[in-house]
Amino acid sequence: MNIHVEDLHYTYPGGEEALRGISLEIAAGEQVAMVGQNGSGKTTLVKHFNGLLQPTRGQVRIGSLETRAVSVARLAANVGYVFQNPDEQLFCKTVGEEVAFGPRNLGFAPEKVAVLTARALELTELGDRAASNPYDLSPTWRKMVALASILSMDTAIVVLDEPTTGQDSASVARIARTVDALRAQGKTVVAITHDIDFAAENFARVIALGEGRVLLDGPAAEVLGQEEVLAQT
Ligand code: ADP
């Protein structure tokens, strides 16, 4: 399922022009890192992928779905969004319930929910913590719970908002393995990140935003090598 963004403009109700004409295409199965300084529009852009925000002008299509024309629920079956702060996302009493919630909510049969939940717990190495209360876990592991609770929905597209921020090296390696596994499954991954090493090591393509526009878009080495342009952002 590809992501098609065409001349996207977005102005917040307060008048802040966050996106100023973004056009890009992300093919099904591509892994893309999105970089750029704070306030460059990264989060605003990805929130258009699952319909959390609607274009002020221009359009966004997820496969054949124009985001303005379909419900957020319909988009949620196709685009998973892992929040930067897991505490905005977690609300169940156990890790297992949390991870099973999404696929159950999508209406999958119980057997499928069980398989997807087990697979997501295994991928995130949470298998032996399924009975724990997410809030008894460290913030590092809570982040893995938030990730697992999106992976279990088996969406074609997974958006990760600052996945490595505040994570120790073991957790960063775990997240990198998850991105690898998603690649092997043919999933599209879009990760907002400040972590240049993480971007370089795990993503073939990097898009750099600045002031609501695409500054650079291409192979990771090429984009991340343009330090002068990136420094301006
Ligand atoms: P990034 O993710 O790259 O840090 P954002 O998409 O969060 O950038 O922000 C882009 C611009 O939109 C910034 O100028 C920011 O201040 C503004 N902005 C973000 N969220 C809101 C909001 N809820 N209301 C008003 N302005 C916002």
Residues 6+ apart with CB under 8 A from 122: none
Q: How far is the CA of 212 from the centre of ligand 1 (A)?
A: 10
The CA 40 to ligand 1 mean position distance, Å, reads 7
- Stretches in the chain below the pLDDT threshold 50: none
Residue with the nearest Cα to atom 24 of ligand 1?
12
Residue of 8, 12, 56, 83 to mutate, ligand 1, most atoms within 8 A of C-beta = 12
In whole angstroms, give the CA distance from residue 184 to residue 227.
31
Looking at residue 137, what is its pLDDT?
94
Model-level pTM? 0.95
Nearest atom, ligand 1, residue 45 CA: 6
For residue range 3-44, what is the model confidence (pLDDT) as tens digits? 999 999 999 999 999 999 999 999 999 999 999 999 999 999
Distance (angstroms) between ligand 1 centre and the Cα of 204 equals 26
Q: Ligand 1 pocket by C-beta < 6 Å: which residues?
A: 12, 14, 16, 18, 36, 38-44
Q: How far is the CA of 18 from the centre of ligand 1 (A)?
A: 6
Write the burial class of residue 16 (CB in 10 Å: 0-12 exposed, 13-18 middle, 19+ buried): exposed
Instruction: Check residue 227 and give its pLDDT.
Output: 76
Helix (H) or strand (E) holding 227: helix 227-232
Query: According to the model, what pLDDT value does residue 232 have?
Result: 67
Residue type, 138: S
**Structure confidence at residue 15 (pLDDT):** 95
Half-sphere exposure of 213 (CA within 13 A, CB side): 6
Per-residue confidence (pLDDT) for residue 88, from 0 to 100: 84
